[in-house]
Amino acid sequence: MTQPMDLDAYFKRIGYGGPREATLEVLRALHTRHTTTIPFENLTPLMGSPVDLDLDALQAKFVGQRRGGYCFEQNALFKAALEALGFRVTGLGARVRWMAPPDAPLGARSHMLLKVDLADGLWLADVGFGGHILAEPIRLATGIDQAAPAATLRLADVGDGALMLRTLLPTGWQDVYRFDLIPQQPADYVASNWFTATHPDSIFVNALLAERLTPEARYSLFNRKLTTRWTDGRTEQRTLTDADDLAQVLDQAFNLTPPAPAEAIWAKLPAE
């Protein structure tokens, strides 16, 4: 039998000691603490292990260990925490458009995000989009620019009941993902999670991805390339040199203890 969400352990993990009420202020605080503490990472599928979405497994991995995970894990755990506090939360599915050519065909619903109903309206919460983590929830409203730490975001109505999340980059507006408000069932996530964690063409079994957003910088790792985007506008990139360098980066930049020796992870990464 699945155990209920252990809020005390989760709050200790993310360093949260504030109110336990279903308010916008609490939602924002939890969203920020989660994304600054728990990294996005795909080491489980990269190393050939299954990704378990059962709440017991998620709590053991995220709360009991110094680990992170990808969207289905991150947002499933966050959803359970919010619901334990009395929030009204609906799981949604998105088609990722991040860095895709504008004319590329739509892919499957391979991303999980959350709709949160508050007294003042609807909000989008998402603690698990690797590549461009959202620091805070944003209002589910179109036609307005929404400033958040490390990003300016916009929701656009793209027809047929669909919305596109966009972010402002130095080169202009970039599509992040397309979604609608149709609730997703647990079985929907199980199917999508199985594909992303096991299909031989999935990026999550072929490359190392990690991201963490802190008050100082956004850290992004793709295989052996580490990119640090500082809040003052500076961007630094470097290529990791060896397994010891990888271990240090995972520990210091991503607040992460890997599930396998750094040498075994390093051997999975293509040379650049």
The answer to whether the beta carbons of residues 18 and 29 sit under 8 Å apart is yes
* Identity of the residue numbered 158: V
Residue 68: the pLDDT is 97
Distance between CA 3 and CA 46 in Å, rounded? 28
The CATH architecture to which 200-268 belongs is: 2-Layer Sandwich (3.30)
pLDDT along the chain (272 residues), means of 10: 87 98 97 97 97 97 97 98 98 91 85 97 96 94 89 94 93 94 96 96 96 94 96 93 98 97 96 73
* Identity of the residue numbered 231: T
Of 103, 126, 132, 232, the catalytic one is 126
Q: Answer yes or no: 111 catalytic.
A: yes
Query: Strand pairing of 88-96 and 111-118?
Result: antiparallel
Residue 227: the pLDDT is 97
Give the predicted TM-score (pTM) of the model: 0.96
Residue whose structure tokens are 């999980």: 112
The answer to whether the beta carbons of residues 31 and 125 sit under 8 Å apart is yes
Of 8, 31, 34, 71, the catalytic one is 71
Of 54, 111, 120, 145, the catalytic one is 111
Q: Answer yes or no: 34 catalytic.
A: no
Q: Answer yes or no: 145 catalytic.
A: no
Positive/negative CA dihedral, 135, 136, 137, 142: negative
For residue 73, list its beta bridge partners: none
